[in-house]
Amino acid sequence: MQHEKPRKPVTAPRIGGKIRRLRRQRSLSQAQLAQRLEVSASYLNLIEHNRRNLTVPLLLRLAEVFGLDLADLAEDDESRLIADLMEVFGDAALDGEDVRTNDVRDMVGASPAAARGVLALYDAYRAARQDVGVMNELLSDGRAAPAEGVNRLPSEQVSDMIQTNGNYFAELEDAARAVADSAGLELGRRFTAMVEHLAAAHGVRVTVLPPSPNQPAARRFDPGARQLELSDALDSPSRNFQLAVQIGLLDASPVIDGLLERNGIQSDACSEAHALGRIALTNYFAAALLMPYDGFLECAQRLRYDIELLEHHFRTSFEQTCHRLTTLQRPGHAGVPFHMLRVDIAGNVSKRFTLSGIHIPRHGGACPRWNVYTAFLQPGTINAQVSRMPDGVTYFCIARTVQKAGGGWGAPQSTLSIGLGCEARYAHALVYADGMALDNDDAAVPIGVSCRICPRMDCRQRAFAPVDHRLRMDENVRGLSAYVTAV
């Protein structure tokens, strides 16, 4: 076997880390992948560590081996890390440090591992700061302080695991398909079929409890009594989903634990990340069970991703349907690469995933121009938006509010906004893009990631000065906002 000669290197982002991740996801050794690419294992090792450039023929062979589009393979795997670090240096605690984008890019290019270490330290710092804030609030009320714990953000560990895997887990898809085949899950009798499967396969009896103000749990499982209780307050999609979740916990638990271990989320008595990871992957299984991959993708493409029609067909909720759309990334048989986020009316981001390339703030505080926030002004209505980021990339996004029922009279209801989007080049596949000016740059809404790292100085909604911009304040002149100097 001969070395691939580094002639005509591709002028492209460094994607060694992405190649290494794709190889590991497919359980290939360096020697096995090198053989398929017709290069030596040592040369592939250099490529994976970004110490050799890729030739055009080799890039084409990589796209063929992994079953990906060339554009998807060539996406900059380090851009998200750069954006996350810029968010870190946008923290008010680092106001005195004149850190520019080029500085961060150089840092990531020189040592991605060190850059990820800085990000991990910042996550720990934020967790510690939040713990101190909570402790101060509790002490000021005269109550006992919370127990001492480890400073970490379990949600970020799980979010990073999902992002690293492209929100696609083949093992869970296979497990869900096996259960669906054995249980005979047809659309018209899914609830009954799942109840029968739990009884036949696990000896579990399902009871739907009547409404009660003293019944706060939507689902409660007693392993000893083999009894599963569901709240009658749940609507049909939620009740089906909770049944599917319980099946996942009983049928797919070994698969879920194996995935967590493989992704470095270890199981121990006090691991919040492991518990949260199990919930996230079990929810993935439930969605795969209710919306089988092949049938759901075929239907989504045929209906041009009309979410409301998909809801009706699969008897699922708006949020469940949107989330499932982000998981359709099987190599060689993938859907549109979406990003998704869920926010509350206070701006807190409680769910985020990006395959479109857009950067969703790691620690909240996204741009108020995103339609996921303006959707609160028109509850229940799907809002479409063509937007352009400061780097010039254009995105097409939809957003709609959803309500989480709180129970009976007087119980609070929470209103959330779900945002789903993709690069504008994929928008023609979505029914919501019909009639939109996708190619008109002037019609695109200029948005940023967050004020602290957004370079747009002509924004009336700017709430903070950008980290790399020194303000020249003039008390006699008022600009577009207090942080925009009038010319």
Residue pLDDT, tens place only, 132-188 = 654 554 444 433 333 443 444 677 788 888 888 889 999 999 999 999 999 988 877
pLDDT tens-place string over residues 205-227: 999 988 766 666 788 899 999 99
What is the torsional sign of CA 339, 342, 345, 346?
negative
437-457: average pLDDT: 82
Q: Please enumerate in sequence order all residues whose Cβ is within 8 A of that of 47, keeping only pairs 6 or more positions apart, or say none.
A: 16, 19, 54, 58
User: Nearest Cα to 110, choosing from 194, 14, 27?
Assistant: 14
Q: What is the DSSP letter of 169?
A: -
CA angle at residue 177 from 204 to 247, to 5 degrees?
20
pLDDT at 72: 61
Provide the mean pLDDT of the chain. 82
Could you tell me where the beta strands, DSSP code E, fall in 41-163? none
pLDDT at 485: 61
pLDDT tens-place string over residues 83-103: 788 878 877 677 666 777 778
Q: Where are the alpha helices (DSSP H) in 74-111?
A: 79-89, 101-110
336-353: average pLDDT: 89
Structure tokens at 127: 């967790």
Helix/strand/coil for 349: strand
14-20: average pLDDT: 72
pLDDT at 1: 43
pLDDT at 335: 95
pLDDT over 70 percentage in the chain = 80
pLDDT at 195: 95
63-69: average pLDDT: 79
Query: Does position 9 have pLDDT exceeding 50, yes or no?
Result: no
More confident residue, 313 or 352: 313
pLDDT at 482: 63
396-424: average pLDDT: 85
Please tell me which of 105-119, 257-271, 392-406 the model is most confident about, judged by mean pLDDT.
392-406
* Residue reference for tokens 């890019």: 105
Of the given ranges (14-28, 36-50, 306-320, 388-402), which has the lowest mean pLDDT? Answer: 14-28
Within 13 Å, how many C-alpha atoms sit on residue 26's CB side? 15
What is the torsional sign of CA 60, 63, 67, 68?
negative
Query: Does position 333 have pLDDT exceeding 80, yes or no?
Result: yes
pLDDT at 12: 43
Query: Does position 244 have pLDDT exceeding 90, yes or no?
Result: yes
For the chain, domains (ranges, CATH) are: 16-73 (1.10.260.40), 79-152 (no CATH), 170-290 (1.10.10.2910), 335-453 (3.30.450)
Please tell me which of 47-56, 307-316, 402-411, 438-447 the model is most confident about, judged by mean pLDDT.
307-316
- Phi-psi group of 306: left, alpha or beta (phi > 0 → left; psi -120 to 50 → alpha; rest → beta): beta
pLDDT tens-place string over residues 450-462: 777 777 777 777 7
pLDDT at 169: 96
- pLDDT confidence band for 192 (50 / 70 / 90): very high
Helix/strand/coil for 341: strand
